[in-house]
Chain A
């Protein structure tokens, strides 16, 4: 379970995340949506224990990410957007390294080969990460995130740059994880994916939460009787006197 209370992240003169609160229960997929620069990646990095929150509390499976870092991180998997990997490790070594970090070599021995096979990386297992394409690297990052069997998963733009088969596999993976009782947070720009995949969504803009809920609840917030997530999102994130960016010619 993931709980975020009043999260603030301030960079000198700039407040990237401002009072964000939400929680995700086991077996739930929540989408984190927002325009560029809304603070989505910063929020995810704070939750992952990469960035130190300026204020607020983050609990993963009941453990505080600041004061009980190791315990909190043990149950968390994070796939960053366009992940940077260790280029001079082979694919297999990379997976092994992540398993070692989480002290889960048992999971590596049991799952390692299967994950590589599932993400079409088995043939590349002895090749350097540096030789992989962008999409392959993304798949490896997903495999690394799954190797320690975390129950809180966070994906930052998980399907950007991945081929259709890979996208399909990741969507299936998310559903499998959901059924296994994982709490899942997905940050994405792809609104149709969010609509199909997520149980509810959180919309961020300028670091603040604008809305949270199911599509129906968001429609109510936007005073719309009908409309898909894209239309609701544009209504909520566009200032009254501002045209949507693609109309602003």
Chain B
């Protein structure tokens, strides 16, 4: 264990030291710390210092524990779905350096796995814990006050039990993910089948829940009916970890100590069983990690070199490459910087084709769903459609851009010698990552106009707004990636993640402000296309500024530094 602690500690210290040696990264770090202090720590300090704040406690006697139970269960269930999908991402846990340096040493694989799980836990929990710690002073007052009349004795415990339940549930899923991953990642043919079974089971379960919720919500007459859905045994069984976490979190409010004990015990038992299951499979761990780390690094290397033939050959060697089909894109002749966009279409369809297909289906479903409900004619429905489409653009672009730009630092040697200015290269990179963020909502809008022609104005608004919005997201992601380019440096990765969403919000805020402001103006409400176009144009302008800034950084970027 000592060498692993040494490795982690030294890597962390050296990583922080390295990150702080660059002025631009230092400035970014100060901004992040300032942001978190201002928005999370400061409110807590201010609230606690306000004289007479206790008198302003919200005391809502009619706000029953059943409502809180339903809300909590919903939150925990959503979180458990997200964590369950984490099963499919654990494979990135080991790096090529682990394979080449650590695995040939006599350190027991069980110790390596135990350490990995603990590190995984810390990685999973560090941000939730920080947020809990930072927000606790402010939210505890609200929460305590909310149920002060209902249960004055134990209401102060509610926040703590909620946080603990949240943490235990996250730990459950990290342990499950390790056990399942070791089971399905083996280098035998049965593992492929097992992975498909688990993937389909997960997918079908979510589909079943979606259908169940749809039918239940169409029958809802009162708020009480909606709350009762959360108590349905089907949901409580499917989201068993969420049920246990809710039982535990609600105990201080309901006084159900037995329920709390049961919930906590169930989650602890799941954690113990999953870790035991993982430990029994450690003999396979190095084998899987070596294959994954090696293939991943090789794949990244090939993609970064633009070696499509090598990548196709490697996939063919592992039996994953299907018969090659001619694509219409081959007939398109893109010259100059457009060639960068042209090749990116291939890379994205081959590397993220599945995800893009899912997003396309989601986009079409968003277009269709409002008409499946009898309330589709309500005034708010088109605006709801606008919000969902915007979310879709955000998801599609963020996914493609974040995964695509990871490769950017490695492509520098290939792209910089091309006869284009840094601005052209960065623009092409940014624009190519926006393609799907534009096409997906376009497809959805085409369907909405077909199904509901009177909504053409809103569909047109989406089509006017989404290109600029997608471009500004992509440009922001690129800028942050050039600022924190080291994907092997955990400190930089953490900074990168912390800054990303904040930066996207800041960059997109002006365009959004204009579009929303325009929609509020009564004269423009019938013409949503106009404010959307103005907002979209503003996004394009912001994107150009970001691309200009990023291209300056890109021009001086040296991957060897």
Contacts and interface: CB of A to CB of B under 8 A. Distances in A.
Interface of A: 10-14, 37, 45, 48-52, 54, 66, 69-71, 73-74, 76-78, 80, 83-90, 93-94, 96-98, 100-103, 128, 130, 141, 144
Nearest to A93: B10
Contacts of A50: 99, 103-104, 286-287, 290
Q: Which of A11, A13, A70, A96 has the most CB of B within 10 A?
A: A11
25 contacts: A10-B187, A12-B188, A12-B189, A12-B318, A13-B318, A45-B290, A48-B104, A49-B103, A50-B99, A50-B287, A52-B286, A69-B109, A80-B99, A84-B96, A86-B101, A87-B489, A88-B10, A88-B14, A96-B6, A97-B6, A97-B7, A101-B102, A101-B105, A102-B105, A102-B106
Contacts of A80: 99-100
A12 B97 contact: no
Contacts of B7: 86, 89, 97
A217 to B, nearest CB: 31
B297 A101 contact: no
A71 B106 contact: yes
Interface of B: 2-3, 6-7, 10-11, 14-15, 18, 95-97, 99-109, 187-189, 191-192, 283-284, 286-287, 290-291, 297, 317-319, 488-490
Contacts of A83: 100-101
B3 A101 contact: yes
A89 B10 contact: yes
Contacts of A13: 189, 318-319
Nearest to A150: B104
B519 to A, nearest CB: 49
A70 B108 contact: yes
A74 B107 CA distance: 9
Given A10-B187, A45-B290, A101-B107, 10 more contacts: A12-B189, A12-B191, A51-B286, A52-B284, A52-B286, A70-B106, A70-B107, A86-B11, A100-B2, A100-B6
B104 A85 contact: no
Contact of A88 (B15, B102, B103, B105): B15
Given A14-B319, A45-B290, A100-B6, A84 B106 contact: no
A101 B290 CA distance: 18
**Secondary structure at chain A's binding surface: helix, strand, loop or mixed?**
mixed
A63 to B, nearest CB: 10
A136 B10 CA distance: 21
Contacts of B192: 12
Contact of B105 (A12, A87, A90, A98): A98
A80 B7 CA distance: 20
A88 B11 contact: yes
Contact of B297 (A84, A96, A130): A84
A144 B101 contact: yes
Contacts of B291: 11, 51
A98 B14 contact: no
Nearest to B301: A82
A90 B14 contact: yes
A8 to B, nearest CB: 12
Given A12-B189, A89-B10, A66 B283 contact: yes
Given A14-B319, A48-B104, A78-B104, A89 B187 contact: no
A96 B291 CA distance: 27
A48 to B, nearest CB: 4
Contacts of A77: 104
Q: Which of B11, B189, B297 has the most CB of A within 10 A?
A: B11
In the A-B complex, the 4 residue pairs with the closest CB atoms: A84-B96, A101-B105, A100-B3, A52-B287
Nearest to A87: B488
A130 B192 CA distance: 36
Given A12-B188, A100-B2, A88 B489 contact: yes
Contact of B106 (A74, A78, A94, A97): A74
A60 B104 CA distance: 12
Contacts of B284: 52
A100 to B, nearest CB: 4
A14 B318 contact: yes
A49 B104 contact: yes
Contacts of A87: 97, 488-489
A135 to B, nearest CB: 13
A50 B7 CA distance: 19
In this complex, the member of A77, A88, A94, A128 whose beta carbon has the largest number of chain B beta carbons within 10 angstroms is A88
B22 to A, nearest CB: 14
Nearest to B190: A12
Nearest to A96: B6
Given A52-B284, A52-B286, A85 B3 contact: no
A73 B100 contact: no
Given A100-B6, A101-B107, A144-B101, A51 B290 contact: yes
Contacts of B99: 50, 80, 84
B488 to A, nearest CB: 6
